Structure 1
Amino acid sequence: KKYDSLEQAFLLGQNGEIDAMESILSRFHEFFFSLPDAPSRTRKHIATPARKAACKRITMYLRWMVRKDSKGVDFGIWEQIKPAQLICPCDLHVDRVARKLGLITRKQTDWLTALELTEQLRTFDPMDPVKYDFALFGLGIEEKF
């Protein structure tokens, strides 16, 4: 009710830095659960990097909302968070392919793994590193790797 868009709630943690996503997600989590009507049972569904979670669902949601994609995968309706700031969503499929390609070395799937993968993807495209997520996921789901 307070904001015109959910995007505004994510911007509470924005600090202008390219690597602000940890702050953005942590502050969103704090804000969300500070609301009087926030159901406590949803805590398990809204991850935070403060607990070292990979934050797969929320980084995927941000990818959909921030990236503009002519293929219909991402909506790109939010404009204040930049694609360069996004963190690659890490799940079993993406992790498996990324490890086999040598993009990540960590054994566990956590926030640091998501950061490691994103940093590697930034070497390919610093302005939109997360665009590779769909391809990594697709290769993993098809078990081509």
Structure 2
Amino acid sequence: MNKKDLKDFLDAKVVQYNHPHFLESDPIQIPHRFTRKEDIEISAFLTATIAWGNRKSIINNGIRLMELLDNSPYEYIVNHQENDLEGLSSFVHRTFNGTDLAYFVQSLQNIYQIHGGLEAVFTKGSSGNSMQPAISDFKKTFFELPHLTRTTKHVSDPRKGSAAKRINMFLRWMVRDGSTGVDFGLWKSVPTAALSCPLDVHSGNVARKLKLIKRKQNDANALAELDASLRKLDPIDPVKYDFALFGLGVFEKF
């Protein structure tokens, strides 16, 4: 395909998959249960954190996670006491367990009480043309409290070569226009042009077949390659193509 044909093909797939029916089988349905900005972004961040593996399991554990936070994540985060954390000990999703969740709750409390919230932390680290440095800086802030080393693996760091799929997905949810009823468009301080595609095995395989990337590993270098290709197709909103790449890979086995 030439560039025009490729763009037309992917644009059509974006229209097909950037649709409310996408919510039926996607973890983004968890933050859609809420209306308060802080509830949406906290539930989205925690859901994105556990978004690997079987999607039905992710959704079920996302629901369970919200139940543990009394289905009022912001109130729980800012008002919890240390003895409340014992009630989180039963949670487990793959290698993310109750100990990790307890630290995430403590760190989020610190972020909202000391740093002005998730949007403020990510905005502070934004360079304007890429959110990858901001993700690395976010990780430093997130783990500024005493913590177990094991918990750090649940927040990716692009400066250490990670494609940071789950955080890039979270940022897409928060920043992209919410008019289609899928993403939320809550964070006006971050430009869509700075977002990166949540690169995983599905989107990576499709991107290679479409010659958007050459690198075989789904790492930070591959993500930079994909960023460059997608920004040529749409420099303002390149991450809209996540819907096309993901949909082609998961639903159409492209």
Q: TM-score, normalised by structure 1?
A: 0.90
Partner of 1:7: 119
Q: 1:134 and 1:32, CA in 2 relative to 1: closer, same or farther beyond 3 A?
A: same
The residue aligned with 1:122 is: 231
Find the aligned partners of 1:79 and 1:37 in 2 and give their Cα distance: 32
How far does the alpha carbon of each residue in 1:72-115 deviate from its partner, in whole angstroms, 9 at most, with x for none? 22111011111000011100100010000000000111011111
* Separation (CA, whole Å) in 1 of partners of 2:184 and 2:149: 29
Aligned mates of 1:23, 1:91 — CA distance in 2: 19
Whichever residue aligns with residue 101 of structure 1, its letter is: L
| Equivalent in the alignment of 1:25 | 135
Cα distance in 2 between the residues matched to 1:37 and 1:63: 29
Displacement of 1:143: 4.0
**Rounded Cα–Cα distance in structure 2 between residues aligned with 1:33 and 1:65:** 22
TM-score, with length taken from structure 2: 0.53
> Where in structure 2 are the equivalents of 1:1-145 lying within 5 Å?
1-15=113-127, 17-19=128-130, 21-34=131-144, 36-38=145-147, 40-145=149-254
Structure 2: which 5+ residue stretches go unaligned?
A: 1-112
Cα distance change of structure 1 residues 56 and 66 upon mapping to structure 2, 3 Å threshold? same
Alpha-carbon distance between aligned partners in 1 of 2:217 and 2:247, rounded to the nearest angstrom: 21
Question: 2: distance between equivalents of 1:31 and 1:128?
Answer: 28
Measured at CA, do residues 39 and 75 of structure 1 come closer, stay the same or move farther in structure 2, by a change above 3 Å?
Answer: farther
Identity over the aligned pairs, expressed in percent? 50
Report deviation, 1:39: 5.2
Question: Contact conserved, 2:133 with 2:159, CA < 8 A, in 1?
Answer: no
Any gaps of 5 or more consecutive residues in structure 1?
A: none
**Secondary structure of 1:123's match?**
helix
What SS class does the counterpart of residue 215 from structure 2 fall into?
coil
Task: Provide the C-alpha distance between the structure 2 equivalents of 1:37 and 1:66, rounded to a whole number of angstroms.
Answer: 30
Aligned residue pairs, count: 142
Structure with greater Cα Rg: 2
Counterpart CA distance in 2 for 1:38 and 1:128 is 36
Aligned-residue RMSD, C-alpha: 1.5
